[in-house]
Structure 1
Amino acid sequence: MKTVFVTVGTTSFDELIENITSSEAVQALKARGYERLVLQVGRGSLLPADDSCPHVRLEAFRFKDSIAEDMKQADLVVSHAGAGSCLEALGAGKPLLVVVNDKLMNNHQLELARQLHADSHLLYCTCSTLTETLTTMDLSVLQPFLPGRPQHFANFLDKALGVQ
């Protein structure tokens, strides 16, 4: 069963939850073959009921100790633009659509999304363009995000400090 996992991290982003569960967005997902929608709603005021989205199987929760299994099972991750959530999804090797909260002031999230999009690691949009993006997105253009190699930095530090 093709699954979309949506995460807002530890914050609240009710506008994303409202938009992804709208009939238009659900129709766009359904048209792409997605049949299951799993929502991690964080501290938001919305916790949609399992029967609130006709035509898809909906599951919603606030928090878990780890969302790694939810990401692993997902065919698509839709996330807020928090760095931790983005890196976790990219590290899991999942196609990622980032929804930037354009209501935040001094929005560093947009900078992160733009850079990772420019490198073809993810797609991004805002809540107002979410349904259109779900309808037109081409996930085949996304490139894998290669994990960092911390040993290179450790070797550099060892050499710089004269330990090596």
Structure 2
Amino acid sequence: MSDQKSSSNASGKRCFVTIGATAPFNSLVRAVLEPTFIKPLCDAGYTQLRVQYGNQEGEAIFQERCKILKEAGFDQGIEITGFGFNREGLRGEMLAVKGQSPQDEGMVISHAGSGSVLDALRIGVPIVVVPNTDLLHNHQVELAEALAEQEYVIHGKLDNLAGSIASVEELRRKMKQWPPLRSGEEKYKRGLEDVIAEEMGWQIG
């Protein structure tokens, strides 16, 4: 368990957790480092947990939780690494979730920021969206609910993230049946764009 660079060449299923770049989300950092989440994650075949923890406070929480997990023996079978921010963006981290084979494809757990959600869906990996309810005057809960209703994402809850793991596998099966998704400079899938535009109040390019 350490703070280190990601390795996209590592085999096995990876769970990548991102809190975004604009606000702390320490409760999410804590939640993904609870034994009640780590054990079912390992049971589901995940061998890597990569956490973007944000600022110094988030880093302290990450290190403390990792120490507790190690002392309790919950670090066996899974590699836990973390980092604060990446100025180059998170696309590389999300691409690593795809794995080297379909069997290695993992999942993303993210705050309900539209940019992070779109990045994960453009790459084609299942995403659990967890609203940061500590933020005032934000649309994160509404966005998560709307996208989950349309079955684009899993609406995750801080007090039951473990329950989202099985839901991710169901979403993964559904995603295999989707038509090819477009990315880059082209328009993304119209239905998703409309949902986000309605909830956020602006259009996506």
Tell me the TM-score normalized by structure 1: 0.80
Aligned residue pairs total 150
Alignment of 1:21 onto 2:30: no
Give the % identical residues.
Answer: 28
Alignment of 1:139 onto 2:174: no
Q: Which runs of 5+ in 1 are unaligned?
A: 151-164
Say what the alpha-carbon RMSD is for the aligned residues. Answer: 2.3
Instruction: Encode CA deviations 1:12-57: one digit per residue, 9 max, x unaligned.
Output: 1000000101111001101111010001112361222495441220
Bigger Rg, structure 1 or 2: 1
Tell me if structure 1 keeps the 8 A contact 2:52–2:82: yes
Alignment of 1:58 onto 2:80: yes
- Give the Cα–Cα distance (whole angstroms) in 2 for the partners of residues 46 and 138 of structure 1: 26
| Match in the other structure for 1:157 | none
| Match in the other structure for 1:67 | 90
**Change in 2 beyond 3 A, CA 1:14/1:146:** same
Tell me the TM-score normalized by structure 2: 0.65
Tell me if structure 2 keeps the 8 A contact 1:91–1:147: yes
Structure 1 residue 107, shift from structure 2 partner: 4.0
**Change in 2 beyond 3 A, CA 1:44/1:137:** farther
| Match in the other structure for 2:50 | 38
Structure 1 residue 147, shift from structure 2 partner: 3.6
Alignment of 1:125 onto 2:156: yes
Runs of 4+ aligned residues of structure 1 deviating over 2 Å after TM superposition are 48-53, 102-107, 131-134, 138-150
Instruction: Encode CA deviations 1:60-84: one digit per residue, 9 max, x unaligned.
Output: 0001122111101111100011111
Tell me if structure 1 keeps the 8 A contact 2:54–2:84: yes
Q: Which runs of 5+ in 2 are unaligned?
A: 1-11, 70-74, 98-105, 188-205
| Match in the other structure for 1:103 | 134
**Change in 2 beyond 3 A, CA 1:72/1:59:** same
Q: 2:20 is aligned with what amino acid?
A: G
Structure 1 residue 138, shift from structure 2 partner: 4.3
Structure 1 residue 100, shift from structure 2 partner: 1.4
- Give the Cα–Cα distance (whole angstroms) in 2 for the partners of residues 104 and 67 of structure 1: 22
**Change in 2 beyond 3 A, CA 1:129/1:103:** farther
Tell me if structure 1 keeps the 8 A contact 2:108–2:128: yes
- Give the Cα–Cα distance (whole angstroms) in 2 for the partners of residues 104 and 115 of structure 1: 18
- Give the Cα–Cα distance (whole angstroms) in 1 for the partners of residues 24 and 92 of structure 2: 21
Pick the aligned partner of 1:7 from 2, 18, 38: 18
Structure 1 residue 89, shift from structure 2 partner: 0.9
Structure 1 residue 131, shift from structure 2 partner: 2.5
